């Protein structure tokens, strides 16, 4: 239960906090763009079962690989893709914390 709260807390509350702290004037759109990073979970559809609570997503699914995270960090550094990149990095951070807690 605590693991689930922490996992989804990072997924939803951290992008909201980032938006409220650093993007005050446009926090709503900033938060929505970061939450759009959930699109990377489509790679879960490539495996069976697509959801396994005992499986670590990091380095198992292609869009959750360490190589992909390097690209996401690069996206977060470039101003035009920063918010989406931050969302992707935060998403992978949430999944990594989940793996550590398993």
- Predicted confidence pLDDT, tens digits, the chain (102 residues): 899 899 999 999 999 999 999 999 999 999 999 999 999 999 999 999 988 888 999 999 999 999 999 999 999 999 999 999 999 999 999 999 999 998
CA dist., res. 93 & res. 84, Å (int): 14
Query: Residue 16 sits in which domain range?
Result: 2-101
| Total count of domains within the chain | 1
Provide the phi-psi class of 55: left if phi over 0, else alpha when psi is between -120 and 50, else beta: beta
């Amino acid at each position: 239960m605590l693991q689930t709260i922490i996992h989804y807390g990072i997924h939803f509350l951290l992008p909201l906090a980032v938006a409220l702290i650093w993007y005050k004037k446009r926090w709503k759109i900033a938060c929505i763009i970061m939450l759009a990073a959930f699109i990377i979970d489509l790679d879960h559809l490539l495996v069976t079962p697509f959801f396994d609570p005992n499986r670590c997503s990091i380095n198992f699914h292609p869009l959750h690989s360490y190589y992909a995270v390097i690209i996401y960090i690069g996206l977060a550094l470039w101003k035009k893709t920063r918010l989406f990149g931050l969302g992707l990095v935060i998403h992978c951070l949430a999944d990594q914390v989940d793996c550590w807690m398993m």
